[in-house]
Amino acid sequence: MTQTERWLLQGATVVTGDPDFEDLPCGDILIEDGRITAMGRELRVEGCRVLPLAGKLVMPGLIDTHRHTWQTPLRALGGDWTVLDYLAAVRVKLSPVFLPEDVHAGTLAGALEALDAGITTLVDYSHCITSPAHADAALQGLQDAGIQALFAYGHAQGPSPSPAFPTPEHRFADARRLREGPLASDSGRVRLGIALSEMQVPWEQSRAELLSARELGVPITLHCSAWPVTGPSEVEQLGRDGLLGPDLLFVHCTFSGDEDLARIADSGGSISATPESELQMGMGFPVVGRALRAGVRTTLGCDVVASNGGELFTAMRLALQSERGRANALAGLPRRLDLKAGRMLRMVTQDAADAIGLGAVTGSLRPGKWADLVVLSADALNMTPLGRPRDAVVMQAHAGNVESVMVRGQLVKHQGVLLGTDVAAVRRKVLRARDAVLERVGGLSALLADQAALQEHWNLGDGLADDAG
Ligand SMILES: [Zn+2]
């Protein structure tokens, strides 16, 4: 399958997700050289491959703005973890024992899982980079999967510096190696980004990380205010140093005050909320409603498949209904619902594309953009009758409805099957990685070490105060 192919998608319900192009109850989409070149009713075009889509729904590919894809081998180990459990198990114990091949297996399997669920673009917050070989392995996993991605090179180190990176500057040099080599282009399917260390490091180091990322000219993402910390917030410190900007994607912000949200909005930055992991792990209440009211570009991510699901239909509904539940509980008997179902779709499409600088080329269906799109089985029982198509995508669809997926006009999933992928081989790789890393830490039962040790590595504010008392 090459990008020179011309495709005509025919007769689908088209949800464009684009303010300038109305949804079509029965529309065609022409794709040439990977891009959408025409949309409309009954397009007459010769010499292209026709995909008849009567009964189906075509929509923009989904965009996950926060996932630690390398953690895929840890799937479903942490269904009952709090954030302290997660930090103790994953960041302190497991991350140091991941070898490059484990990072590759996790990233490949996780990116394929995302594609399978209609996610055509992923922000991979890749913070298990303990050597240049780990970075290469993670990047290779994204490239092998065929997904479009921002490979956010993580500067976070494990509980102690790895021998390959004795100082932060060694990490900066390694990110620069990728920027000057395989990720020099900003139009490639996988682009470079930088993921900053969390507040377990002194602010001066975070600042140096940010400045080195700005020198590379790439999008920057950072975990932010996911629990109450002592001292000023990340947003406050960035603002104080004049470092806020539209290239920043803040993750969580559940404990961000309204002043911080206003600062992010003013600077043109964005937020990634990950409602499922936030609600589970005790990372505060999802910021979605407050962020939208503050005028912040707000997007959604899956975060951690060690604990929760890896697809965005659930994330949309959790974000929507948790916010409605909060507002309704205050209202008593509400007269109306302020947050509309259809609004959620923008968070996982156009707004997410804008958040990582890709808004002009993906995020909606319109001529000139990449054909990054999803075909949903709108004729399935759970979507029949279709009702209001945009609402049906948010309120009714699930990942099992994702029938076909295109990334830049290339069909990567067709009629339920991932193309060009040996799924059995990928499963074997990820199972091998799971067994290997668990064996290296002494088995499942050894994962939750004494959490008091966390205090040495993270600024947890008063998070452990009760235990200490
Ligand atoms: Zn995260």
Instruction: Quick: pLDDT tens for 230-252.
Output: 889 999 999 999 999 999 999 99
For tokens 């319109």, what's the residue?
A: 366
Cβ atoms 233, 260 nearer than 8 A: yes
Whether residues 310 and 163 share a domain: the answer is yes
Give residue 416's identity as a one-letter amino acid code. Answer: G
SS3 466: helix
Q: Is it the case that residue 160 has pLDDT exceeding 90?
A: no
- List pLDDT tens digits, range 179-197: 999 999 999 999 999 999 9
User: What pLDDT sits at residue 469?
Assistant: 30
Neighbouring-strand partners of residue 405:
374, 413
Ligand 1 centre to CA of 272 (Å) is: 10
- List pLDDT tens digits, range 195-213: 999 867 888 999 999 999 9
Whether residues 249 and 204 share a domain: the answer is yes
157 band by pLDDT with thresholds 50, 70 and 90: confident
Whether residues 406 and 298 share a domain: the answer is no
Whether residues 71 and 46 share a domain: the answer is no
User: What pLDDT sits at residue 448?
Assistant: 81
Whether residues 77 and 110 share a domain: the answer is yes
The dihedral sign for the CA sequence 195, 199, 201, 206: positive
Measured between alpha carbons, how far is residue 351 from residues 60, 67, 105, 264 in Å? 12, 17, 30, 15
Ligand 1 centre to CA of 2 (Å) is: 35
pLDDT above 90 covers a percentage of the chain that reads: 88
Whether residues 348 and 406 share a domain: the answer is no
Residue 339's Cβ-count burial label (10 Å; 0-12, 13-18, 19+) is middle
CATH code at position 336 = 3.20.20.140
Q: If you average pLDDT over residues 215-233, what whole number do you get?
A: 93
Asked whether residue 424 is assigned to any structural domain, the reply reads no
User: What pLDDT sits at residue 457?
Assistant: 64
Measured between alpha carbons, how far is residue 277 from residues 80, 83, 232, 286 in Å? 11, 9, 24, 10
Measured between alpha carbons, how far is residue 222 from residues 79, 128, 156, 305, 311 in Å? 24, 15, 10, 19, 21
User: What pLDDT sits at residue 198?
Assistant: 82
The C-alpha atoms of residue 138 and residue 156 are separated, in whole angstroms, by 15
The candidate with the shortest Cα–Cα distance to 67, out of 118, 17, 121, is: 121
Q: If you average pLDDT over residues 310-318, what whole number do you get?
A: 98
Tokens coding 116: 């399978």
What is the extent of the structural domain holding 230?
62-355
Neighbouring-strand partners of residue 249:
221, 270
Ligand 1 centre to CA of 144 (Å) is: 23
User: What pLDDT sits at residue 161?
Assistant: 83
User: What pLDDT sits at residue 461?
Assistant: 63
Ligand 1 centre to CA of 32 (Å) is: 37
Ligand 1 centre to CA of 359 (Å) is: 23
User: What pLDDT sits at residue 467?
Assistant: 44
- List pLDDT tens digits, range 48-79: 999 999 999 999 999 999 999 999 999 999 99
- If you average pLDDT over every residue of the chain, what do you get? 94
Ligand 1 centre to CA of 426 (Å) is: 24
Q: Is it the case that residue 464 has pLDDT exceeding 60?
A: no
Whether residues 340 and 379 share a domain: the answer is no
User: What pLDDT sits at residue 330?
Assistant: 94
Asked whether residue 153 is assigned to any structural domain, the reply reads yes
Ligand 1 centre to CA of 35 (Å) is: 32
Ligand 1 centre to CA of 71 (Å) is: 11
Ligand 1 centre to CA of 429 (Å) is: 24
Ligand 1 centre to CA of 180 (Å) is: 27
User: What pLDDT sits at residue 456?
Assistant: 66
Tokens coding 265: 């909005």
Residue 242's Cβ-count burial label (10 Å; 0-12, 13-18, 19+) is exposed
Whether residues 55 and 82 share a domain: the answer is no
Tokens coding 361: 């080329």
- Antiparallel, parallel or unpaired: β 402-407 and 410-414: antiparallel
450 band by pLDDT with thresholds 50, 70 and 90: low
Ligand 1 centre to CA of 455 (Å) is: 19
Whether residues 51 and 99 share a domain: the answer is no
- List pLDDT tens digits, range 365-416: 999 999 999 999 999 999 999 999 999 999 999 999 999 999 999 999 999 9
The C-alpha atoms of residue 421 and residue 313 are separated, in whole angstroms, by 24
Cβ atoms 268, 326 nearer than 8 A: no
158 band by pLDDT with thresholds 50, 70 and 90: confident
Q: Is it the case that residue 454 has pLDDT exceeding 90?
A: no
Cβ atoms 276, 252 nearer than 8 A: no
- List pLDDT tens digits, range 252-271: 999 999 999 999 999 999 99
Q: Is it the case that residue 3 has pLDDT exceeding 50?
A: no
The C-alpha atoms of residue 445 and residue 77 are separated, in whole angstroms, by 11
Ligand 1 centre to CA of 66 (Å) is: 6
The C-alpha atoms of residue 383 and residue 379 are separated, in whole angstroms, by 6
User: What pLDDT sits at residue 465?
Assistant: 45
Query: What DSSP designation does 420 have?
Result: T
Give how many domains the chain has, as a whole number.
2
Ligand 1 centre to CA of 303 (Å) is: 5
The candidate with the shortest Cα–Cα distance to 27, out of 45, 15, 13, 8, is: 13
Whether residues 243 and 139 share a domain: the answer is yes
Asked whether residue 458 is assigned to any structural domain, the reply reads no
